[in-house]
Structure 1
């Protein structure tokens, strides 16, 4: 029975729809004392369930929930002294709370199609109505995190049942964007 396969605590109950008037909010870590707070101005984009082993996941989650926001629309409001970059060599510079471990934001700062975007975990918003996830990415990577390979057909079916088409990369639209960006970089000027 695929409904018994857990994906993410919020997604297992069904995907909540966004509201048209969501204009940003405050992300908060899991600390009860001096929580880190991050303001995100405006809407988020490309929200998805992610199976990679780098993203923060809440307890009991097989997938994380990840979206992006423009870097200039993300700012630390409170307790930024508790933040540290998880892996300085990674493309996404994930800033996590050193006490509770929640990844609060992750800018892409080097030359890349996603440069200028910050990756966030929208379930950390205090506000509701943010863009719902639209697909699942890096699905096979959950095997690296401990999901048994023979469970993968059920995992993919559960994602489809939730309306989250499963991909072992990003969604086709995002992959087309990356390929177009790369192709433009590789065009040699005529002499």
Structure 2
């Protein structure tokens, strides 16, 4: 069995370093929530965690970050609610269709000032492709049979995504550096 990774990455990836933002739109047919992203996005990746919003049937979400100051709700924001107020990422989802539109990090953390978004909600295919897969083992927590994991990892590699059971090495280094500076181990 070949599990659906995510519709936007299943068959091919594309690069677009010149992406300058756009409007994310929830899945509602009437009065959709719209969130404007000004400027580019970064650290786009496939995510296997059980907290991220995924399209129907997909084992992974596709998620990237944008500076929170570049994220503005421009339509029907009254339909948004935070999914889990105790979570680091304050995922704002449409209370009608369930689509996650943006998730700012507001507390003291290396990712503070960033908002997590789902680029497939731009409605175009000109955003940068994911560059890695994170929290791959977590798909088991979402119901994937452990016997499928070798095939899933092979499929991720076939489409050009290195699978990690945490974040990419560059992001893990960023987190560790932030923590070391905060704790005075490294100079700020």
TM-score by length of 2: 0.96
Counterpart among 24, 28, 32 of residue 31 in structure 1: 28
State the match for 1:159 in structure 2.
156
Contact 1:9–1:60 under 8 Å retained in 2 = no
| C-alpha distance in 1 between matches for 2:183 and 2:72 | 34
| C-alpha distance in 2 between matches for 1:188 and 1:19 | 37
SS at match of 1:66: strand
Counterpart among 89, 101, 114 of residue 92 in structure 1: 89
| C-alpha distance in 1 between matches for 2:93 and 2:137 | 25
State the match for 2:179 in structure 1.
182
Counterpart among 100, 110, 114 of residue 103 in structure 1: 100
What is the CA distance between 1:96 and its match in structure 2?
A: 0.1
Counterpart among 129, 137, 158 of residue 140 in structure 1: 137
SS at match of 1:88: coil
State the match for 1:77 in structure 2.
74
The 5 A counterparts of 1:111-150 are: 111-150=108-147
Runs of 4+ in 1 over 4 A off after TM superposition: none
What is the CA distance between 1:188 and its match in structure 2?
A: 6.5
| C-alpha distance in 2 between matches for 1:179 and 1:48 | 20
Runs of at least 5 residues in structure 2 that lack an aligned partner in the other structure: none
**Residues 40 and 83 of structure 1: CA distance in aligned 2, closer, same or farther (over 3 Å):** same
Contact 1:26–1:127 under 8 Å retained in 2 = no
Structure 1 vs Structure 2 CA RMSD: 1.5
TM-score by length of 1: 0.94
SS at match of 1:173: helix
Contact 2:16–2:129 under 8 Å retained in 1 = no
Corresponding pairs, count? 187
